Structure 1
Amino acid sequence: MTSLARDWFRPERPDLPELVTDEAERRRIKLELVIVFGITLGLSGARSLVSLLDSLLQPTPLSRQHVALNAPQAAQSLLDLLAQLLSVVQLVCWGALGAYLLVRAGFRLRSVGLGWRRRDLLWGGGLAALIGIPGLALYFVGWKLGLNLAVSPSTLGDTWWRPIVLTLSAFGNAFAEEMLVIGYLLTRLRQLAFRENTSLLAAAVLRGSYHLYQGFGGFVGNLIMGLVFGRVWQRTNRLWPLVVAHTILDVVSFVGYSLAKGHVAFLP
């Protein structure tokens, strides 16, 4: 194995952040992780598992069941707009919580990859293409094999604010997931002396878990995405390209689906 391949597949733990050896501080970090993910994406993972089990117990095959990612939350249009925006605020606050806790622990946000560079847009676009095309193929294969529910990225009505809300939702999802699952979690696991591959797998499984409501294909696809995104962060220490890529993927999925629905026959 070449040194370059070894660096990517069997990376060494970096010198920073420093290991936490004080037992009281280690317990505090572990408790913090439980609390943070117990009220954010870890809780979403548990709910997704319950949702998948419920779907499996239905007499209807998974491929004939439907789930919507962005659904109406109120009957009146303006109230629905407000509810959708509040959901975006919740997601951004989840990501901000992870960033805040790192700052309180003495980290600079730049140290976890939140210092903006122009090339982050280019990197993000490349990552979106790398993940998006195979991911879409994997979803349709899983759906046809009966391993996935029919996922509707949006069932919002045809309103003036729909593309705006879907774009904001895409960013909210991206910022919350990449900040918590990559920037925050992997940094904390480094402090606890987890090996790079072990922490990478843990973060990827967490990412897959809160997509279980989509079916087994949703879990596998997001697990792979988590492995790729996590390793890119571990090797480059850049978080914004991941947020950009994730946002692009969700915008294409959410907005593209809402525009193509009814015009493309094979869409669920």
Structure 2
Amino acid sequence: MLEEQVRSPGRRVLGVEVLIVLGLSLGQSAVYAIVRLVDLLSRGPLREATATLNPTRSERPWFDLTYQLMGIGFALVPVALALYLLWRDDPRLVRRLGLTTASPVRAVAEGFVLAALIGLPGIAFYLVGRELGVTAEILTVPANVYWWTTVVLVLAAVQNALLEEVVMVGYLFTRLTQMGWGRWQVVVASATLRGSYHLYQGIGQGVGNFLMGLIFGWWYLRTGRVLPLVIAHTVLDVFAFVGMLYLGEQLGLR
């Protein structure tokens, strides 16, 4: 009986597990983002606020690099935890979540299409949000740039993609479905949480990421594959981080 309970945990057990995983990762980020938004609003208009995504961690280059790599590595621990919990229930985890594919070219192509679908309107959404004063100025490049900055920014993009898509889509969709949630209830819940942990960037970015969550959730419902979402998210962040590093001044955005 005990073995059967471990293999098929009840809704309450799954609910506690979900709260712990989110509390260690993006749920915690959502709480901080909401408090940060209240803090920003209490100081003045959002158009005067800034949100730094990749801050310099130390004025000494090698310590900065060490802190950056440590931050990226430890941010992936909740990903490992979520994957382990799912694998424990079903060792066919990788295939079930669509984290691998027999057609890598197709997965990459789908990822770039999704990135274009999200990215181009996302830029317009950000600029409109800035004009309306509901979005903070987003700084994606650290104050101090070194020879290794590009590599770290790419690694940060991959880390963001794995954390958000594996936990918010692969893990959360699986667990909420097992708890008896309807398909679109899961999509909306995941999208709402995605939007909430971006609120530190302003209300506009919160809404924009909520819409992104709806699109990514719809895609996962149709395909059952996380890998194209990870690729798309990585492409978006690489463009925002590395693209801004090299093109920001020419575009007048740095």
TM-score between the two structures when normalised by the length of structure 2: 0.93
Report the equivalent of 2:156. Answer: 169
Partner residue of 1:40 out of 21, 25, 41: 25
Q: 2:90 corresponds to which letter in structure 1?
A: G
Report the equivalent of 1:52. Answer: 37
Report the equivalent of 1:7. Answer: none
Partner residue of 1:90 out of 51, 66, 74: 74
Q: Where is the helix percentage greater, Structure 1 or Structure 2?
A: 2
Q: 1:67 corresponds to which letter in structure 2?
A: A
1 CA distance for matches of 2:85 and 2:203? 33
Q: Does 1:139 align with 2:118?
A: no
1 CA distance for matches of 2:141 and 2:84? 31
Secondary structure of residue in 2 paired with 1:57: helix
RMSD: 1.6
Q: Does 1:99 align with 2:83?
A: yes
| Pair 263,23 (structure 1): closer, same or farther in 2 beyond 3 Å | closer
Q: Deviations over 1:26-54 (max 9, x none)?
A: 21100000111011100000000000000
Q: Does 1:203 align with 2:187?
A: no
Q: How does 1:1-268 map to 2 (within 5 A)?
A: 25-59=10-44, 61-108=45-92, 109-116=94-101, 117-118=103-104, 119-265=106-252, 267=253
Report the equivalent of 1:16. Answer: none
Task: Tell me by how many angstroms 1:203 deviates.
Answer: 0.3
Secondary structure of residue in 1 paired with 2:100: coil
Gap runs ≥5 in structure 1: 1-19
Task: Tell me by how many angstroms 1:231 deviates.
Answer: 1.0
Secondary structure of residue in 1 paired with 2:43: coil
1 CA distance for matches of 2:140 and 2:245? 8
Task: Tell me by how many angstroms 1:260 deviates.
Answer: 2.2
Gap runs ≥5 in structure 2: none
Secondary structure of residue in 1 paired with 2:36: helix
Q: 1:147 corresponds to which letter in structure 2?
A: V
2 CA distance for matches of 1:241 and 1:114? 9
Q: 1:36 corresponds to which letter in structure 2?
A: V
2 CA distance for matches of 1:255 and 1:40? 25
* Residues 211 and 219 in structure 1, CA contact (< 8 A), matched pair in contact too: yes
| Pair 158,24 (structure 1): closer, same or farther in 2 beyond 3 Å | closer
Q: Deviations over 1:182-239 (max 9, x none)?
A: 0000001111111101010000001111100000111011101100011101110111
TM-score between the two structures when normalised by the length of structure 1: 0.88
Q: Deviations over 1:140-170 (max 9, x none)?
A: 1001100001111122422100100000000
2 CA distance for matches of 1:42 and 1:175? 15
| Higher deviation after alignment, 144-153 or 254-263 | 254-263
* Residues 91 and 175 in structure 1, CA contact (< 8 A), matched pair in contact too: no
* Residues 124 and 241 in structure 1, CA contact (< 8 A), matched pair in contact too: yes
